[in-house]
Amino acid sequence: MSTIVNARAYLVDLEVETVRTDAVQSFLKQETVFVEIDTDDGLTGTGYSYTIGTGGGAVLSMLRNHLVPRLVGQDAAHIEHLWMDLFASTRATTVGAITSLALAAVDTALWDIKCKSAGAALWEVAGGYRKDVPLYDTEGGWLHLTQDELVSGAVASRDAGWGGLKLKVGKPNHREDLERLLAVRAAVGDRMDIMVDANQSMTSAEAIRRARAFEEVDLFWLEEPLPADDVAGHVRLAQSTSIPIAVGESMYSIAQFRDYLERGAASIVQVDVARIGGITPWLKVAHLAEAFNVSVCPHFLMELHVSLVAAIPNGRYVEHIPQLRSITNTEMVIRDGRAHAPETPGLGIDWNRDAIDNRRVD
């Protein structure tokens, strides 16, 4: 038994590392919500989740007023029990982003303790399939970048040996999107995977029209073309195009993924460990996707997702968007175009405590 003797939550604001824009928004800052849990055997687990600019205070309030007080005296090893107990205690706000983000901060802290107690890295404890995974770049593909900037970024990613790159789409005229995509394809050649992301900006009819136009680019996937709750629209789109449809970053429950997979509305699952509620439900979604012979390519949080993608047999890609460098002592290891999962016990993120304390806003 590893009894929880103390737990605390706090909020840190992180500036964005580069200008990031898509079809519907700009990434203004990362509100990072931390949870730290101490046990009677001397272990401390650190977990976190995030928002891209708003709502962090609401997540922190949920943690401090409702979830964290329920942890003291509990066995940190009983992760499933604790997750379900916290979930049940917030029935009035589930399923939803605020509760899921709060649960994720607790759950990742508990997994940090679980791995440290076992003396093993997260990628091993969560499954241990392989040590390294393919990487694709998003930082060179933002919507505000010029066509020349897109091309130069894509060529740099190819020359670094990365397997893929992602470009944002959603220009007012679909021909401008297509011209940009074709320019990148011509620059990088046929062997590099090109993904595109519409950030839920399209109507069903427009998504079908643009997907047909984009087919000549030979895309690896079309991401979030429609609002995440429009399952029927994604079904129609998937049936109308040869481009695989990727969804998941804006889903907050296992059941949502089940609906998409059962109806053939998703070919790529992009489950986000923060938005699904932690590592515990993330793994359930990943195994569900495996049952449908669907790959997992999670959204954002590369420092954490590298270990989870390495843990499972259907993990396909990790998304490269660095955002924690200002509060960590080390960076994710990249060699030969592949991201390598940390080998240290725990989540494998080497937090810079002084930098974190300097950015606390609560």
User: What pLDDT is stored for residue 350 in this prediction?
Assistant: 97
CA 219 to chain centre: 21
CA dist 269 and 257 (Å) reads 8
Residues forming CATH 3.20.20.120 domain(s) in the chain:
124-340
Q: Does position 104 have pLDDT exceeding 80, yes or no?
A: yes
User: What pLDDT is stored for residue 16 in this prediction?
Assistant: 84
Higher confidence at residue 39 or residue 140? 39
Q: What percent of the chain has pLDDT above 70? A: 100
Strand-pair category, 245-247 with 268-269: parallel
Claim: this prediction has a pTM higher than 0.85: yes
CA dist 337 and 88 (Å) reads 42
When pLDDT is averaged across residues 219-232 and rounded to a whole number, the result is: 97
User: What pLDDT is stored for residue 349 in this prediction?
Assistant: 98
For the 4-119+353-358 domain, the top CATH level (class) is alpha beta
Q: Does position 19 have pLDDT exceeding 80, yes or no?
A: no
Where are the alpha helices (H) located in the chain, listed in sequence order?
56-62, 79-88, 97-118, 122-125, 147-159, 174-188, 204-214, 231-240, 254-262, 273-276, 279-291, 302-311, 353-358
66 catalytic residue (yes or no): no
For the segment 242-273, what is each residue's pLDDT rounded down to a tens digit?
999 999 999 999 999 999 999 999 999 999 99
Residues forming CATH 3.30.390.10 domain(s) in the chain:
4-119+353-358
When pLDDT is averaged across residues 68-89 and rounded to a whole number, the result is: 97
Q: Does position 56 have pLDDT exceeding 80, yes or no?
A: yes
Q: DSSP string spanning 54-122?
A: S-HHHHHHHIIIIIGGGTTTSBTT-HHHHHHHHHHTTGGG-SSHHHHHHHHHHHHHHHHHHHHHHT-BH
Radius of gyration of the chain (CA): 20
User: What pLDDT is stored for residue 94 in this prediction?
Assistant: 85
Q: Is 35 in contact with 9 (CB distance < 8 Å)?
A: yes
User: What pLDDT is stored for residue 329 in this prediction?
Assistant: 97
Q: Does position 352 have pLDDT exceeding 80, yes or no?
A: yes
29 catalytic residue (yes or no): no
For the segment 171-210, what is each residue's pLDDT rounded down to a tens digit?
999 999 999 999 999 999 999 999 999 999 999 999 999 9
Identify the band that residue 76 occupies on the pLDDT scale cut at 50, 70 and 90: very high
When pLDDT is averaged across residues 287-304 and rounded to a whole number, the result is: 98
CA dist 73 and 105 (Å) reads 18
User: Hey, what CATH topology would domain 124-340 get?
Assistant: TIM Barrel (3.20.20)
Torsion of CA 220, 223, 229, 233, to 10 degrees: -60
DSSP 331: -
Please pick, among 166, 299, 305, 320, the residue that the annotation labels catalytic. 299
Identify the band that residue 25 occupies on the pLDDT scale cut at 50, 70 and 90: confident
User: What pLDDT is stored for residue 20 in this prediction?
Assistant: 85
Q: Please count the residues of the chain.
A: 362
Nearest to 68 by CA among 43, 44, 36, 42: 36
Q: What percent of the chain has pLDDT above 90? A: 92
Please pick, among 114, 116, 166, 168, the residue that the annotation labels catalytic. 168
Q: Does position 316 have pLDDT exceeding 80, yes or no?
A: yes
Beta bridge partners of 268: 246, 295
For the segment 320-337, what is each residue's pLDDT rounded down to a tens digit?
999 999 999 999 999 999
Q: DSSP string spanning 220-256?
A: SEEE--S-TT-HHHHHHHHHH-SSPEEE-TT--SHHH
Q: Does position 274 have pLDDT exceeding 90, yes or no?
A: yes
